[in-house]
Structures are given as C-alpha cells and as structure tokens.
C-alpha cells in the first residue's frame, strides 16, 4: 500500500463545523481510509489529565511533548480511537472537560511535531491496517485508493500538496447546538452544560486555534470553502464527493 499513489482529501475547519462526521461518512462511502487528526490531540489531552498533568500549565509543556512522542494512537475502525494499542477512548475524548483543556496540547510545538509525522505516514499509506477492508473507487476505469483526514492544519501544514482541500465554516450558535446534541446522544452531557456554555467554549477554542503561533487554524489559499451552517450531513458529504470525483479526472 505504501507504494501506491493515494488520493488525499484534507478537510479543515473549526470545532463542530461537521468535519469529523462528514469526513467519516465520506471515507466510508468511497471506501477510503479515514483519520480524525483532532482526536489525536484529544487523546493526548485525555492521557495528560488522567496522569495528573495540567495542559494549561506552561511548565508542563516539555513533559507533554515527550508524552506525545511516546504515545501510539491508532484507528482500527471508522469509529474507534485506540490509545497505546489497548484502550478505545473514542467516547471519553468527546467530553467538555477534554474540550476545555485541549488548548495547551494543541498549541504545544513538540506535540504537533510528533503527531504530524504520524499523520503524514498515515496519508502515505505507511500503515496498511488503516485501509483494511477499504476498496476505494473505480473512476474512469482506474481503481483509486484514498485517505480522508480532517483537522485544523491538514491543508496548510500536514498535507499542503493534498489532491483536494476543503475548509468548512459554520455559525458558532449552530456549532454549539450540534455539539450539545452530540453529547446528549452519547450520554456525555455533564452537569451544568448548556448550549450557551458550549458556544463560549467553542469561541474560546476558535480564538486559541486562530491565534496560536504553531500551525494556526486558517484556510489554505487553494482550499474550497463550504459553509455547513444550513447543510445536512448528507448534503456536506454529497458536495465534497462531487469535488473529489471532479479532481479525480486529473489524478
């Protein structure tokens, strides 16, 4: 697999803009591999908190960087995030506690360097297990394998030469309602949680993401912008699928 050319799709955007759900369904529909890069930062945040290491304390930056470099994060299925090859934490990392503590991890240069190398390797096909059961698509008589990766710096830093880059945007009130509904569905709504509280947390995260010195959230110059505020998930999937098929004509 590592020698085959892979059609890479980079989907970026702020929290709760629909990136992960859309990317996951898109990859499943097309038979592509899928990597949720944001879950990797959430996994490191989860590990820090469990070990009693505060991501908000600048004094812990070096320790957190070393912890990230020594951590393994794998995606054996579309919905699972496995920490150190033994624990599925896909549900735990979606809590409000993780969201409010992730800033110090996401802005840590050493963490980003460690995870960036892993993400690029995944996109190259260095980890065949990511494609297990994936058949790709047949387009113009050619069988094409692909990788869909979503995050905040995929199109600008991780895969600047991706075959397709998409930047999702959405109104913060709508994003907060989406996150609230997701937490209710997962039975992860914490005491005192409200849509307005989540909105404030998302807007704070947006500010941190856009203003951090290392790999800030921004739209790549050649990315296609898609406003998801009033789109269903299926409409988002359909819109990006059309872009992919159009680009495949030159692949």
Task: State pLDDT tens for residues 188-246.
Answer: 888 889 999 999 999 998 999 999 888 899 999 999 999 999 999 999 999 999 999 99
What letter would DSSP give residue 18? S
pLDDT, position 126: 80
In a domain? residue 144: yes
Higher pLDDT: 15 or 195? It is 195
Range(s) of the domain holding residue 76: 6-246
pLDDT, position 203: 95
Residue listed under structure tokens 């699928």: 241
CA distance 99 to 103: 8
pLDDT, position 2: 40
CA distance 207 to 39: 19
Give the relative orientation of helices 19-30 and 37-50 as an angle to the nearest 10 degrees: 130
In a domain? residue 1: no
pLDDT, position 215: 87
Measured distance between the N- and C-terminal CA atoms of the chain, rounded to whole angstroms: 17
In a domain? residue 109: yes
Question: Model confidence over 92-124: pLDDT tens digits?
Answer: 998 889 989 999 999 899 999 999 998 998 888
Q: In what order do the strands lie in the sheet with 82-83?
A: 73-74, 82-83, 87-88
Question: Model confidence over 22-80: pLDDT tens digits?
Answer: 999 999 999 999 998 989 999 999 999 999 999 999 999 999 999 999 998 988 788 88
For the segment 162-188, the average pLDDT, to the nearest whole number, is 94
In a domain? residue 251: no
User: What is the total count of domains within the chain?
Assistant: 1
For the segment 136-163, the average pLDDT, to the nearest whole number, is 94
Residue 91: pLDDT band (50, 70, 90) is: very high
The pLDDT mean for the chain works out to 92
Residue 125: CATH number of its domain: 3.40.50.300
Phi and psi based region of residue 223 (left: phi greater than 0; alpha: psi -120 to 50; beta: remaining): beta
Q: Is 12 helix (H, G, I), strand (E, B) or coil?
A: strand
Residues 6+ apart with CB under 8 A from 171: 229
């Amino acid at each position: 697999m590592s020698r085959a050319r892979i059609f890479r799709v980079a989907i970026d955007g702020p929290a709760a803009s629909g990136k992960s759900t859309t990317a996951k369904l898109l990859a499943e529909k097309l038979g592509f591999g899928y990597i949720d890069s944001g879950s990797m930062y959430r996994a490191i945040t989860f590990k820090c908190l469990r070990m009693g290491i505060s991501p908000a304390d600048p004094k812990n930056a070096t320790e957190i960087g070393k912890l990230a470099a020594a951590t393994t994060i794998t995606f054996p299925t579309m919905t699972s995030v496995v920490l150190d090859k033994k624990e599925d934490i896909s549900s735990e990392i979606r809590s409000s506690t993780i969201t409010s503590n992730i800033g110090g991890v996401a802005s840590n240069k050493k963490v980003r360097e460690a995870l960036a190398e892993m993400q690029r390797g995944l996109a190259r096909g260095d980890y065949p297990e990511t494609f297990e059961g994936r058949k790709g698509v047949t387009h113009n008589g050619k069988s094409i394998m692909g990788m869909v990766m979503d995050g905040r710096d995929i199109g600008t830093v991780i895969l600047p030469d991706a075959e397709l880059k998409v930047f999702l945007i959405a109104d913060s009130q709508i994003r907060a309602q989406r996150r609230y509904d997701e937490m209710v569905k997962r039975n992860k709504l914490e005491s005192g949680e409200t849509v307005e509280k989540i909105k404030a947390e998302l807007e704070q995260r947006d500010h941190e993401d856009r203003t951090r010195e290392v790999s800030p959230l921004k739209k790549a110059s050649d990315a296609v912008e898609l406003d998801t505020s009033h789109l269903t998930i299926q409409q988002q999937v359909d819109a990006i699928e059309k872009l992919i098929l159009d680009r495949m004509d030159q692949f």
